[in-house]
């Protein structure tokens, strides 16, 4: 899935890492031999939650600070606010001038960036381990002391608009995806794009940002995640020193549920854009781990995603790409770690001799197959093997390990979900996959978007 | 976009020193950093190995000198040949191969750049799983079937990729840059090829290409993970057993500098104009490597704080992404300055970029900038090799481009030895303001 899950302030060095989140099973420890790595947890008096995981393979550390705020906290008219604020977080505090944050981190040999998602805004530094205090000092400072100067805002807002042009306006598929998401979700806060609508950006004022910052940027609305060659008790001490003195916010608002309103039949949109290739998106409304009434359902949907597109031997590449040759590529995406219910999405590019309608029908046949026939044991075994292996592979990245913990905490799930993941996936049965297919892949929750290329 | 700069560093003892029963022909890096061992397989492939026992997994990266710079008249053949390696091989169908890898959780991938044709495997080192992954890998690499119908299907997919590039202004700009800057050199054309030439490719073309370039003497093997040296040797021997010895690919032609500056505009219906400015930069192992590397870090290679980012984004809000980089290759690779801005701002952006570059060539960096950059580069070394994935990529580069095994262990010293005068001198000699190619793609 080429969907935009996160908006980094700069392109991350490996975009794959970020997109991986949306596509691949997020695997975690459990095979008999592998012990889940212990997560150390504490909370400061001011409410800041701290999670630490040790990995001493290299003398490096990653520190991430996660705030419970993102595009799903926003309202019409000021969409994109969280992301613009993320940009402005580099524009100076009472102590540190605009742009200085990045310079200090660079001088310490560090890498840094930030990203905004639907349900979170996060900032991180990767450093040689002895430099961790630098990260804490700077992040603690900008958690409460941002100055938000008008003249900096005036220069940064056009940057964000350029970002939107680059990511969305000039990319026919991204534009299709954005409108598809908005069509599928009407009253849910996932309706609007993370980066915000262009008109909202144009009319944004620095005075919109100040209350947003005051409201959400506080220790009692944040989680600090540290993974690397560190000692947990030392990290806790260090965190106490720098973050401890910060005052908690007393007016963190209670979130309204903003549950998506019912859908009464299929929705369908068409985009006619200058492009060379047609493109198809189909989405069904599905629960997340947070909203599922039956806890096994998201795991069954996760395995179902694996049956369809988890590797080159999965059904879509095998049946649609190679056997029928109807599509040039086809993929599915499901994100179980989100605050609210979301979408299970199919996306496909037809091969030269087939139309979008052919592709759509072929995908429906695949869905019918899932409803009518139990998934073969060999398919389940393959997915489970991939999850077990993935659990080991992901330990090759301390950044990714930190990311999982931060995301879980920030959408309101305990980090222990990470350690249960492999077992929960292993427990999924063929019958459960069939059940979720029948329950959720229905016309009354379906939205279809078609990109129809027009000549320039 | 921050391009990954391939360099490695001295890193005190976090990757354990391989238990070296090194026979005579094994060469090891010196110092106690990342301990690289290198040898030739009996078929003549160059093996680069690092023991990383902390995780029960193994990464292998095979790099043949078979990138699209070898396409010759058959544009797109390098990429298509490479892509066919995941299809039928030996007695197995494409489905069976995919199942064999995935049943043991192995990850297999292929890619072809201008210099390199890459085939990668990641597997657990649990014996029963590793054996199946390696055995499948070996067959895929050494017994591709090149079946007519599968070639046809992959070809159709490559044609879709070409179409996809045509709806991406950044790809259009890149292709225009390469074709203008590299003119009649093999780097001028994109790996994906053109519609007509890809259509014309035959099974025979692919087989010929494979027979000539997918040979042991043309191969670098990077092995990183939880296998000891003895196992690594056996793996390298097994993987190359069924390959022909063959010959290393011949040296590519030298890249000529453009005769004069040129501006290329491609009209495209979009809100932004994509800008690329540059010329041929440097090759791997270049004598000016460190001066140009540090200089570019200051000019536009380090994101925030670099001059281009300051002038374009921080001061003027002209772009989200603005950068410069050298991409050293077998022959001289590109030097590129890039950004994208709304169409109306193109002229202003071009002026700022050219002025920034010109000023840097004339006056070089300040002491403060140089010292800041050195701190960033040397202080950040541990981060560059803190995963098996990174180490594998770096090993492949060091081996493929014949860089010194001590590249890592001496890198910090070489960075620290760079002076302002060295940077000024290198930029003056290497970047010629009167020979810059400027590409714009957008709406005028």
Q: DSSP letters along B214-276, please? A: SSGGGEEEEEEES--HHHHHHHHHHHHHTS----PPPPPPPPPPPSS-EEEEEE--SSEEEEE
CA distance A153 to A151: 5
Measuring CA to CA, which residue among A168, A67, A158, A165 is closest to residue A119? A67
CATH of domain A36-243: 3.30.830.10
CB of A84 closer than 8 Å to CB of A209: yes
Measuring CA to CA, which residue among A353, A361, A357, A311 is closest to residue A332? A311
The counts of H helices and E strands in chain B are 16, 12
Longest Cα separation, chain B: 65
SS3 A273: strand
CA distance B222 to A132: 33
CA distance A206 to A208: 5
Q: Determine the residue of chain B that is closest to A7 in CA distance.
A: B320
CA-based torsion, A83, A86, A87, A93: positive or negative? positive
Helices marked H in A320-397 — which ranges?
356-372, 377-393
Q: What is the CA radius of gyration of chain A?
A: 22
Q: What is the pLDDT of residues A26-58, one digit of tens each?
A: 322 223 344 577 999 999 999 999 999 999 999
Instruction: Spell out the residues 6+ positions from residue B255 whose beta carbon is closer than 8 angstroms to its own.
Output: B182, B185, B187, B280, B331, B332
Give yes or no for A291 touching B (CB within 8 A).
no
Q: What is the pLDDT of residues B47-92, one digit of tens each?
A: 999 999 999 999 999 999 999 999 999 999 999 999 999 999 999 9
Q: How many CB pairs under 8 A join A and B?
A: 211
Interface ipTM: 0.91
Question: Are both A36-243 and A267-454 of the same fold?
Answer: yes
CB of A64 closer than 8 Å to CB of A48: no
**Annotation says A128 is catalytic:** no
Residue boundaries of the structural domains of chain A: 36-243, 267-454
Measuring CA to CA, which residue among B121, B432, B443 is closest to residue B270? B443
Q: Read off φ and ψ for residue A161, nearest 5 degrees.
A: -65, -35
Structure tokens, A277: 């290739």
- Which A residues, 324 through 383, put their C-beta within 8 Å of a C-beta on chain B? 325, 328-329, 349, 351-352, 378, 381-382
Structure tokens, B50: 């690092």
Q: Determine the residue of chain A that is closest to B306 in CA distance.
A: A103
Q: How do A111-116 and A121-128 pair as beta strands?
A: antiparallel
What is the per-residue DSSP string for A100-157? HHHHHHHHTT-EEEEEE-SS-EEEEEEEEGGGHHHHHHHHHHHHH-B---HHHHHHHH
Q: What is the pLDDT of residues A51-65, one digit of tens each?
A: 999 999 999 999 999
What is the spatial order of strands in the sheet that B437-442 belongs to? B262-267, B437-442, B272-280, B334-342, B322-326
Q: Across the interface, do B383 and A127 touch by the CB < 8 Å criterion?
A: yes
Structure tokens, B51: 């023991």
On whether the pTM is more than 0.90, the answer is yes
CB of B35 closer than 8 Å to CB of B17: yes
Which of A31, A74, A86, A137 is catalytic? The answer is: A86
Third-level CATH fold of B27-241: Cytochrome Bc1 Complex; Chain A, domain 1 (3.30.830)
Looking at 3.30.830.10, 3.30.470.20, 3.50.50.60, 3.40.640.10, the CATH number of the domain B262-442 comes to 3.30.830.10
In DSSP terms, A52 is beta-bridged to: A40, A226
Q: List per-residue pLDDT tens for chain A, 456 residues long.
A: 223 345 555 433 222 222 222 222 232 222 334 457 799 999 999 999 999 999 999 999 999 999 999 999 999 999 999 999 999 999 999 999 999 999 999 999 999 999 999 999 999 999 999 999 999 999 999 999 999 999 999 999 999 999 999 999 999 999 999 999 999 999 999 999 999 999 999 999 999 999 999 999 999 999 999 999 999 999 999 999 999 999 999 889 999 999 999 999 999 999 999 999 999 999 999 999 999 999 999 999 999 999 999 999 999 999 999 999 999 999 999 999 999 999 999 999 999 999 999 999 999 999 999 999 999 999 999 999 999 999 999 999 999 999 999 999 999 999 999 999 999 999 999 999 999 999 999 999 999 999 999 986
Q: How do A49-54 and A39-43 pair as beta strands?
A: antiparallel
CB of B334 closer than 8 Å to CB of B435: no
Structure tokens, A309: 């597109």
Q: What H or E segment, with its residue span, contains residue A279?
A: strand A279-286
**A184 — alpha (psi -120 to 50), left (phi > 0) or beta?**
alpha
CA distance B419 to B371: 10
Q: Across the interface, do B303 and A157 touch by the CB < 8 Å criterion?
A: no
SS3 A217: coil
Give yes or no for A313 touching B (CB within 8 A).
yes
CA distance A86 to B4: 24
Which residues in chain B have their CB less than 8 angstroms from residue A381's CB? Answer: 103
Place of tokens 């540059």: B278
Residues of chain B with CATH 3.30.830.10: 27-241, 262-442
Please provide the distance, in angstroms rounded to a whole number, between the alpha carbons at the two ends of chain A: 26
Third-level CATH fold of A267-454: Cytochrome Bc1 Complex; Chain A, domain 1 (3.30.830)
Q: Which of B54, B314, B382 sits opposite A59 (nearest CB)?
A: B382
Half-sphere exposure of A350 (CA within 13 A, CB side): 20
Give yes or no for A318 touching B (CB within 8 A).
yes
Q: Across the interface, do B387 and A352 touch by the CB < 8 Å criterion?
A: no
């Amino acid at each position: 899935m080429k969907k935009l899950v996160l908006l980094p302030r700069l392109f991350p060095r490996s975009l794959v890492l970020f997109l991986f989140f949306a596509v691949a099973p997020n695997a975690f420890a459990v095979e008999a031999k592998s012990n889940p790595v212990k997560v150390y947890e504490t909370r400061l008096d001011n409410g800041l939650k701290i999670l630490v995981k040790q990995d001493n393979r290299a003398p490096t550390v990653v520190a991430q600070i996660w705030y419970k705020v993102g595009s799903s906290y926003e309202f019409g008219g000021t969409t994109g606010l969280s992301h613009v604020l993320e940009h402005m977080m580099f524009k100076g505090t009472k102590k540190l001038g605009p742009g200085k944050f990045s310079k200090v981190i660079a001088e310490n040999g560090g890498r840094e960036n930030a990203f905004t998602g639907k349900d979170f805004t996060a900032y991180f530094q990767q450093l040689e381990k002895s430099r961790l205090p630098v990260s804490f000092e700077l992040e603690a400072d900008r958690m409460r002391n941002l100055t938000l100067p008008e003249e900096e805002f005036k220069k940064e807002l056009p940057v964000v608009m350029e970002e939107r042009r680059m990511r969305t306006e000039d990319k026919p598929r991204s534009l299709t995806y954005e409108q598809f998401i908005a069509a599928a979700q009407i009253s849910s806060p996932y309706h609007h794009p993370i980066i915000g609508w262009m008109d909202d950006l144009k009319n944004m004022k620095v005075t919109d940002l100040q209350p947003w910052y005051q409201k959400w940027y506080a220790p009692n609305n944040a989680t600090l995640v540290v993974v690397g060659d560190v000692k947990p008790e030392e990290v806790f001490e260090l965190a106490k020193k720098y973050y401890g003195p910060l005052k908690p916010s007393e007016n963190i608002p209670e979130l309204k549920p903003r549950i998506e309103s019912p859908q009464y039949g299929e929705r369908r949109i068409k985009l006619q854009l200058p492009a060379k290739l047609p493109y198809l998106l189909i989405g069904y409304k599905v629960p997340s781990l947070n909203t599922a009434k039956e806890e096994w359902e998201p795991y069954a949907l996760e395995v179902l995603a694996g049956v369809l597109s988890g590797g080159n031997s999965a059904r879509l590449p095998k049946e649609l790409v190679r056997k029928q040759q109807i599509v040039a590529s086809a993929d599915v995406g499901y994100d179980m770690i989100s605050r609210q219910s979301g979408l299970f999405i199919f996306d496909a590019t037809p091969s030269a001799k087939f139309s979008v309608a052919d592709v759509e029908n072929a995908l429906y046949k695949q869905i019918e197959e899932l409803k009518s026939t139990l998934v073969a044991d060999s398919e389940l075994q393959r997915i489970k093997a991939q999850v077990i292996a993935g659990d080991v592979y992901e330990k090759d990245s301390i950044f990714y390990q930190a990311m999982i913990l931060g995301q879980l905490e920030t959408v309101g799930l305990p980090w222990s979900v990470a350690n249960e993941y492999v077992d929960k996936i292993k427990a999924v049965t063929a019958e459960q996959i069939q059940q979720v297919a029948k329950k959720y892949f229905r016309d009354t929750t379906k939205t279809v978007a078609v990109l129809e290329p027009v000549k320039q | 976009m921050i391009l990954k700069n391939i360099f490695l560093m001295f890193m005190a003892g976090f990757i354990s020193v391989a238990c070296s029963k090194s026979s005579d022909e094994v060469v090891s890096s010196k110092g106690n950093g990342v301990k690289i061992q290198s040898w030739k397989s009996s078929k003549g492939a160059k093996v680069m190995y690092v023991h990383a026992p902390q995780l029960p997994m193994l990464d292998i990266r095979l790099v043949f000198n078979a990138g699209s710079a070898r396409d010759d008249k058959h544009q797109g053949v390098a990429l298509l040949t490479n892509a066919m390696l995941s299809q039928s091989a030996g007695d197995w169908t494409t489905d069976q191969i995919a199942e064999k890898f995935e049943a043991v959780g192995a990850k297999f991938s292929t890619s072809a750049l201008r210099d390199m044709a890459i085939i990668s495997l990641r597997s657990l080192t649990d014996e029963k799983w590793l054996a199946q992954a390696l055995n499948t890998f070996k067959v895929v690499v050494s017994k591709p079937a090149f079946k007519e119908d599968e070639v046809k299907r992959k070809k159709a997919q490559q044609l879709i990729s070409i179409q996809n590039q045509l709806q991406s202004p950044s790809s259009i700009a890149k292709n225009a840059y390469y074709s203008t800057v590299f003119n009649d050199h093999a780097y001028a054309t994109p790996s994906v090829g053109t519609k007509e030439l890809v259509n014309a490719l035959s099974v025979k073309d692919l087989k010929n290409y494979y027979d000539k370039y997918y040979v042991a003497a043309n191969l670098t093997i990077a092995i990183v993970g939880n296998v000891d040296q003895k196992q690594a040797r056996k793996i390298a021997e097994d993987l190359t057993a069924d390959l022909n010895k063959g010959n290393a690919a011949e040296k590519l032609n030298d890249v000529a500098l453009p005769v004069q500056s040129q501006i290329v505009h491609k009209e495209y219906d979009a809100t932004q104009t994509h800008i690329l400015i540059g010329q041929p930069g440097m090759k791997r192992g270049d004598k000016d490597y460190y001066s140009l590397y540090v200089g570019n870090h200051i000019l536009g290679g380090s994101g925030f704080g670099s001059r281009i980012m300051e002038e374009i984004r921080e001061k003027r809000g002209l772009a989200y992404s603005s950068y410069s980089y050298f991409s050293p290759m077998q022959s001289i690779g590109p030097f590129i300055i890039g950004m994208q801005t709304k169409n109306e701002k193109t002229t202003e952006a071009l002026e700022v970029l050219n002025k920034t570059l010109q000023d840097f060539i004339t006056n070089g960096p300040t002491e403060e900038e140089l010292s800041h950059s050195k701190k960033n580069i040397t202080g950040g070394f541990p981060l560059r090799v803190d995963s098996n994935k990174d180490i594998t990529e770096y090993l492949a580069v060091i081996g493929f481009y014949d860089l010194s095994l001590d590249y890592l262990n001496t890198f910090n010293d070489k960075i620290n030895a760079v002076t302002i005068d060295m940077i000024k001198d290198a930029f003056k000699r290497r970047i010629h303001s009167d020979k810059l190619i400027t590409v714009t793609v957008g709406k005028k």
